Structure 1
Amino acid sequence: MQSDERGLFKDAMSLASGANNAALGANTKAADADARSAAAKAEADAAKATALQGAVAWISDKEISYSSTVTLSLAPRTASFVVEGAKVGDRIYIHRRGRPTLAGVNVVAGISLESTGFVPADGTVEVYHTIPAVGVGQTLSIPIKMVGYRPAAV
């Protein structure tokens, strides 16, 4: 009988040891999951802290105009505008606000303008764009709307 009791005792100890190891493993996995969760939260908090929240600071309607030449010009160009309220650090979105005209006639196809702008100095906005020159001695005009966004931190 004693050998049976010893066998049962060994079996019970082995089962207890296995249960203890399983509990330790579960605790380790839970601690690892908690650590990963804390790291992900810290990363999200850091990203949120560095993200720039912005609001519309100003809106301006302008027009880009070029007198055309004989050649087709696809070189990037810069148009500078005076915009009251623009400040260095503003982010700018530019889009077409109407139909372009060529020699006073509405152009209905092919000319698109969506861009971003840059404020090199307070009150000045530069718009980078590529517009083809399309006629001899004619003026191409594209009405644009500029929307300036100012980050809350600026």
Structure 2
Amino acid sequence: VGASGGSPEPRSNSFMRRKRRHARKIAKYVLNAIIDRALHASSSASSSARQRQRKEERRGRRGKSERRGKAERARKRASRSQREQQQKQQQQRDSKRAASQDPSSKAAASPGRASLGGGLPAGDGSEANGAADARVHG
């Protein structure tokens, strides 16, 4: 019986040899692929680590008496202001979302639709979707 438990008749030698050779070829290919991938991953990881180290060394090499250049100061200032702007936007977004999820504020914000009872007529499935919607557009 063959390795794959097929038909009960005995396999010929030549057939088994061919089968084994095929299996060996596949194994070689798979191994090479795995090794290549591992090598590539480790080499790229180590190179990025080296780059980071070099960068940190460069950053720490300034003496006490040395001042920052004009360009560097400007760059730092720009990144700081950008960060502050992003934080502001995030806060605005958060407060808006909190307001939209608060049912009392919804009725107060739209006095014209207060007669409908909080905006939308009941039973159109919008209430069930509210939480999922907020999750998607978070």
Q: TM-score, normalised by structure 2?
A: 0.36
Q: TM-score, normalised by structure 1?
A: 0.32
* Structure with the higher fraction of residues in strand conformation: 1
* Structure with the higher fraction of residues in helix conformation: 2
